[in-house]
Structure 1
Amino acid sequence: MAIQWRKSSKSTDSDGNCLEVAEQDGEILIRESDDPGAIIRTTRAKLRAFIDGAAAGEFDDLA
């Protein structure tokens, strides 16, 4: 079965440069549409922790 990639309805980049997500076998897959061969695999829990950390500013001082 083919992976069903999704992108945000707010993505308006005419060049197709956006993040796409999919779910397969209990994993969350993330890729950039302009480099579809490079896929990040993670779990829902790890992705949620990353999003929550970014929203809380945990990565703001990494420069």
Structure 2
Amino acid sequence: MMPQVQWQAPLCGGDGGNACLQIGHTPDGTPILRETARPDEMVTTTREGLRNFIEAAKSGELDHLT
């Protein structure tokens, strides 16, 4: 069973809320991501992995994915 997760408010795109992503963390600080449409499907990562992903997105390295 997944430990209790502290979820942030969903981040939704401009499509009326059909593509919402949530980020949360477990009590030990493990970052977790999920889509609100599929709350039972989660991806865990490390703090460093999440930081690297956010920095890549901010710098435009992931722009080709949108």
CA RMSD of aligned residues (A): 2.8
Give 1:30 deviation, angstroms.
0.5
Please give the per-residue CA displacement for 1:9-55, whole angstroms capped at 9, x wherever unaligned: x6487656411111112310010000011101011211111111111
| Cα 1:59–1:4 shift into 2, 3 Å | closer
Displacement after TM superposition at 1:4 (Å): 2.4
Aligned counterpart in structure 1 of residue 4 of structure 2, from 2, 26, 29: 2
With normalisation by structure 1, the TM-score equals 0.68
Q: What are the ranges of 5 or more consecutive residues in structure 1 without an aligned counterpart?
A: none
Percent sequence identity over aligned pairs: 36
**DSSP-derived class of the 1:55 partner:** helix
How many correspondences in the alignment? 61
Structure with the greater alpha carbon radius of gyration: 1
Separation in 2 of the partners of 1:28 and 1:59? 20
Which protein is richer in strand relative to its size?
Answer: 1
2: CA distance, partners of 1:38 / 1:52? 24
Q: State the TM-score, normalized to the length of structure 2.
A: 0.66
Larger helix fraction of residues: 2
For 2:34 and 2:17, locate their aligned partners in 1 and report how far apart those are by CA, in whole Å. Answer: 15
Distance 2:22 2:41 in 1: 11
